[in-house]
Structure 1
Amino acid sequence: MGILHLSIELVFDFIAFIMGCVLVAQAKDNYLKFYWGIIAAFIGLFFIWENIGWLMIVTDTPEYRFTSLLSIDKMLKWYALASVVSLFPMASLYPGYFNHLRLLAYLFPPVITITVGICYLSFNGYLTPLYFLDEISTYIYRQDVQLRIAIFLISILLPLVYFVYPLASKRAFRQINRNMYLFIGFMFLFLGIYITFTLNINEFIFNLFGITAVTFVLLFSTLYLFQENPFSNHILIISSTNENTLPVHDETNSAPLPLLASIDAYLKQTGVYTDKEYTIRQLAEALNKKERAVSQAIKSGGFTGFREYINYLRLEHFKQLASTHSDKNIKELMYLCGFTSRTTFYRIFTEKFGVSPTQFIENLSKPL
C-alpha cells in the first residue's frame, strides 16, 4: 500500500468527512440525516487520521502477523459504531419512535460493555497474546480471554438483533425499499469483515475494511443529500386513494398523534405549504405549538420530517391542479405547488407514484 494508494484514499476520506458535515448542517428536524451526517463525518475523520499516520511513517502495508487476535480496542471501536448504525432500520421504519429515553435504553448495553472493556484496559491491562485460533481454547480459563470472548459475542449478537428485528416486524410505519436491502447487504458484509478481522488479521481484510467503509459512507451520504429517508417509502403515499382526507395507518400500526389532524387541516385550508420558503417554525407559530411537538406529530404519521410531509402535500396538490388546469404546463404547475427544482420534483414524484409527471398528465388525458 504505497503513497499513491494512501493519497487516493485520503482524498475520499476528506470527501466523506465534508459530506457528513453538509448533512448535519442541512438536517433540521430529520434526525436520521443528522445522525448519519455525524457518523459519516466521524468515519471520514477516523480514516483521515489513520491514513495521514501511515503516510508519515510508512509506504508499505503494515505487518499484522504479530498483532493479537480478539483485540479489545478494535472490538470496542466496532461495537460503538455498530450499535448506532444498527438502529437505522428501526429509525427509518418508525419515524419519531426514538426519544432520549428510548435511545438511552437501546444504547445502555453497549455503553456498559464498552465501559467494562475500557476499565479493564486501564486498570488491569494484561492481555494474553493470541496469534492462532486454537490458542483461544487453550487459554480459555484466563480472565482476560473470557472477557474478550464475551465482548466479541455481544458485539456481534446485539447489533444483529437491533438490525434484524424491525425488518421482520409487520408494524412498521413505512415500506422497505431497495436502498434498505443495499444497506442490509453492506451491514452483513461489515459483520463478516469484522469477524474475520478479529479472528484472523491480514493485509487483505485490512484493505477491504477501509475501502468498504469509505464506499459505504459515500454511497449513503449521497443518497441522504437527495432524499429525506433513502431506506424506506411512506406507506400512505403509496397506498392512499383518498387525497382529501388525513391519511390514517392501518390497524397494525399506531395511530397518528391528534395534533397531526390540526396540522393537516390548517395547511390544506390555508395552502401555505405552496410557499417555497415555508418553514416548520412558521407552522408552529401559527398553531401556537412548539416546533418539537409539531415535528413529533408529523413523524407520528410516518413522515421522516417536515420537508417530506410538505412535499407530500405539494405532490397531492400537483395531482389536483393537473386534473383541473389542463391549460398549464408541468413547469407552471410545479411552481404553483411550491417546488423550485425541476430535477427534485421529477425525482420525488416518480419515486412516490411510480410514473413521471409527464406520464401522469398523459394518463389523465386518455379517455376512460
Structure 2
Amino acid sequence: MVPILANLPILGRFLRVGCSRSFREKTTFVAQNKKNMVNVIVLCIELLLDIVGLVLGILVYSRSSDNNGLTKAWGVLAITLSFLLLCDNLEWMWIFSRGGEETIPRFTEVPMNHLSVWHIVRVIVFFQFFSIFPIASLKPGWMTFSRVVSLCIPILLITCIACCYEFFNGHYTTLKSFASIRENIGEQDVRVRLMLFVISVITPSVNFLFPYMRRWIPIRRKQSQAMSIYMMCFAIIMSGYIWLMLGTSGLCFNVFGYIVILPVLFLNILYLRNENPLSLPPQPVEELEMEEIEAIREIAVSPVVLELSNQMQSLMKHSKSFTNPQYSLQEFLNDLNTNENRLNKALHYDGFSGFRDYINFYRLQYFKEQAQLKRELTVKELMFLSGFTSRSSFYRYFASVEKMSPSEYMEMLNREN
C-alpha cells in the first residue's frame, strides 16, 4: 500500500523542502528496495476508492443548501483529503513504474520511517478539523472563526516546531522499526518527534469531549446514531495512525490507506442522505424539562436575535407557510423582513443548522398534529399535507427523529385510542 498519511494535510505538500524530501525518500526507497514494492492491484483499487471519495465529496458540497456551512465544510474536507490521497497514490504509481512494467511486483511489504515529522504535521491538520464536526453539529453557529483559530493553535505549534527542527537541525535519526525507537530514545530528535506524535493523538481526541460538556456549553440538539458511527470512524483512523507510526511490520503501511478512505466514503454517504447527520433537531419547547428551559435562557443572545426567534415561531404557528412545498428561503426572509445573516443567528440560537432543517422540523410537528386530528387520512396524504414531497426523504427523516416509521407511529396512535 502507499503512505497515505504522508499527504493528508496540505502543508508538507506545498512546502518546497518537505515536498522534495518526500519525493527523494520515495525514489531512494524504490532504488534500494527493488523487491519491496507496492502491489499494483492493491494500489489501483485504492486509486479507484480515492476517485469515488473525490466525486462523493463534490456531490456533498454541491448539494448542500446555501446557508448550511457545516455540510459545505465536510464537502471541502472530503474533497481535499481524497484529492491528496489520489495525488500521493499516483506519485507512487509513477515512481514504481518508471523502470518498466517488470518492476511492478504482485506483492509488497513496504517498511517506513517511523515517527516522521512531516507525517505527523500533515496528520494533525486532518484530525483537528475532523474532530470538531460533532460539536459543530450539535451547536450550530458555535464554531466561529475565532474558535476555529484557537483550536488550530496545536496545529500551528506542531508546524512551527517541525519546520524549525527540519530546517535548522542537521541530525535526523532514521527509525525503521518500533525497536529502533526504543534504542534511540536518547536522541534529541527522537524525543521531539515522540512528543509531537503524542500531541497529535491527544489534541483531536480531546475535542470529542466537547459534546459532553453541556454544563459549560448549552446544547439544544440531540445526538443521533450517526454520531456514534462518526466517533467509531475516528477511533478506527486514529488506531491506524498509531499503528502506522509505531507499527512493527510493513502490513500497517500497506493497509492504512484503506483505514482512512473507507470511513470517509461512508461518512460522505451519510452527509448525502442528511445535511446534518450527526445530530437531531431540538425538542419542542413544550416537551422540555424545566432545567433544559432554564439552560436555554442562559444562552447569551442579543435582544434583536431573541425577538426575531419569537417572530419566527409566531409566523410558523399562525401562517403555516411551511406546508407549501415551494416555500423558499427568500420568501421566509421577506415574511420576517430581515436579512440572511440575522436569520442564521436566530436559527442557530433555536438549535437549527439552517432554513431547511427549521422548516422540516415544523413540517414533522404538523404531521404528528394532523395524524391525531385526521385519522382517516393515510401516511402519504398527511405527508403531502405537511409540505413534504419526497417519500424516501420523509420516511428517513421521520425515523431518525421519532425512532419509528410513520406507519408504526400511526399504528401507535390507533392503539392508544
Q: TM range, normalised to the smaller chain?
A: 0.7 to 0.9
Task: Look up the match of 1:18.
Answer: 55
Distance in 1 between the 2:271 and 2:135 partners? 17
Task: Look up the match of 1:363.
Answer: 412
Kept in 2, the 8 Å contact 1:89–1:167? The answer is: no
Asked whether 1:186 is paired with 2:233, we answer: yes
Task: Look up the match of 1:341.
Answer: 390
Deviation at 1:142, TM superposition (A): 4.3
Task: Look up the match of 2:364.
Answer: 315
Deviation at 1:143, TM superposition (A): 4.1
Task: Look up the match of 1:81.
Answer: 126
Deviation at 1:89, TM superposition (A): 1.7
TM-score, normalised via structure 2 length: 0.78
Asked whether 1:250 is paired with 2:288, we answer: no
Deviation at 1:183, TM superposition (A): 1.8
Deviation at 1:156, TM superposition (A): 1.1
Asked whether 1:7 is paired with 2:54, we answer: no
Kept in 2, the 8 Å contact 1:248–1:301? The answer is: no
Asked whether 1:94 is paired with 2:156, we answer: no
Task: Look up the match of 2:252.
Answer: 205
Asked whether 1:286 is paired with 2:335, we answer: yes
User: Which of 70, 81, 98 is equivalent to 1:43?
Assistant: 81
Q: Give, as a single letter, the amino acid of the residue that structure 2 aligns with 1:111.
A: L
Unaligned runs of 5+ in 1: none
Determine helix, strand or coil for the equivalent of 2:222. strand
Deviation at 1:110, TM superposition (A): 1.2
Kept in 2, the 8 Å contact 1:274–1:337? The answer is: yes
Q: Aligned pair in 2 of structure 1 residues 363, 132: CA closer, same or farther (>3 Å)?
A: closer
Determine helix, strand or coil for the equivalent of 1:251. helix
Determine helix, strand or coil for the equivalent of 1:5. helix
TM-score, normalised via structure 1 length: 0.88
Q: Aligned pair in 2 of structure 1 residues 364, 53: CA closer, same or farther (>3 Å)?
A: same
User: Which of 147, 153, 159 is equivalent to 2:204?
Assistant: 159
Deviation at 1:56, TM superposition (A): 2.8
Distance in 1 between the 2:250 and 2:188 partners? 29
User: Which of 264, 286, 292 is equivalent to 2:313?
Assistant: 264
Deviation at 1:225, TM superposition (A): 0.8
User: Which of 331, 347, 350 is equivalent to 2:399?
Assistant: 350
State how many pairs are aligned. 362
Asked whether 1:297 is paired with 2:370, we answer: no
Distance in 2 between the 1:359 and 1:132 partners? 57
Determine helix, strand or coil for the equivalent of 1:236. coil
Q: Aligned pair in 2 of structure 1 residues 46, 299: CA closer, same or farther (>3 Å)?
A: same
Distance in 2 between the 1:299 and 1:132 partners? 49
Q: Give, as a single letter, the amino acid of the residue that structure 2 aligns with 1:39.
A: L
Task: Look up the match of 1:174.
Answer: 221
Deviation at 1:25, TM superposition (A): 1.6
Kept in 2, the 8 Å contact 1:95–1:173? The answer is: no
Q: Aligned pair in 2 of structure 1 residues 302, 340: CA closer, same or farther (>3 Å)?
A: same
Q: Aligned pair in 2 of structure 1 residues 260, 249: CA closer, same or farther (>3 Å)?
A: farther
Kept in 1, the 8 Å contact 2:224–2:400? The answer is: no
User: Cα deviations across residues 19-60 of structure 1 (Å, max 9, x unaligned)?
Assistant: 111111222322221111112112211221222233333334
Deviation at 1:341, TM superposition (A): 0.4
Identity, in percent, stands at 29
Distance in 2 between the 1:57 and 1:356 partners? 53
Deviation at 1:337, TM superposition (A): 1.7
Distance in 2 between the 1:314 and 1:206 partners? 49
User: Cα deviations across residues 260-295 of structure 1 (Å, max 9, x unaligned)?
Assistant: 221121233222222223333332233232212212
